[in-house]
Amino acid sequence: MKPASLHDRIRQDIESRIMSGTWEAGHRIPPEHELMADYGCSRMTVSKAISALVERGLIDRRKRAGSFVAAPTVHRATIDIPDIAAEIEGQGRRHALDMRDQIEREAGPLDRTLLAMDNGPVLALFCLHRADGTPFALEERLINLSIVPAARTIDFTRESPGRWLLGHVPWTDARHRITAIAATCAMADSLGLGEGAPCLSIERWTWRTAERITYVRQIYPGDHELTARFIA
How far is Cα 140 from Cα 143, in angstroms, rounded to an integer? 10
In this prediction, residue 74 carries a pLDDT of: 44
- Which of 15-29, 54-68, 148-162, 189-203 is predicted with the least confidence, judged by mean pLDDT? 15-29
pLDDT at residue 1 is higher than 70:
no
- Report the half-sphere exposure of 81 (CA within 13 A, side-chain side): 24
In this prediction, residue 80 carries a pLDDT of: 57
Digit-coded pLDDT (tens) for 67-122: 998 875 544 334 556 688 888 998 899 999 999 999 999 999 999 999 988 899 99
Return the H-helix or E-strand segment holding 18: helix 6-19
Instruction: Show the 3-state SS of the chain.
Output: CCCCCHHHHHHHHHHHHHHCCCCCCCCECCCHHHHHHHHCCCHHHHHHHHHHHHHCCCEEEECCCEEEECCCCCCCEECCCCCHHHHHHHCCCCEEEEEEEEEEEECCHHHHHHHCCCCCEEEEEEEEEEECCEEEEEEEEEEECCCCHHHHHCCCCCCCHHHHHHHHCCCCEEEEEEEEEECCHHHHHHHCCCCCCEEEEEEEEEEECCEEEEEEEEEEECCCCCCCEECC
* Domain 6-69: assigned CATH number: 1.10.10.10
Digit-coded pLDDT (tens) for 148-177: 888 998 998 888 898 888 878 777 778 888
pLDDT at residue 182 is higher than 90:
yes
In this prediction, residue 76 carries a pLDDT of: 39
Domain 77-230 bears CATH identifier 3.40.50.720: no
Name the residue ranges covered by the structural domains of the chain.
6-69, 77-230
Mean pLDDT score of the chain: 85
In this prediction, residue 192 carries a pLDDT of: 94
In this prediction, residue 120 carries a pLDDT of: 93
Confidence class for position 46, pLDDT limits 50, 70, 90: very high
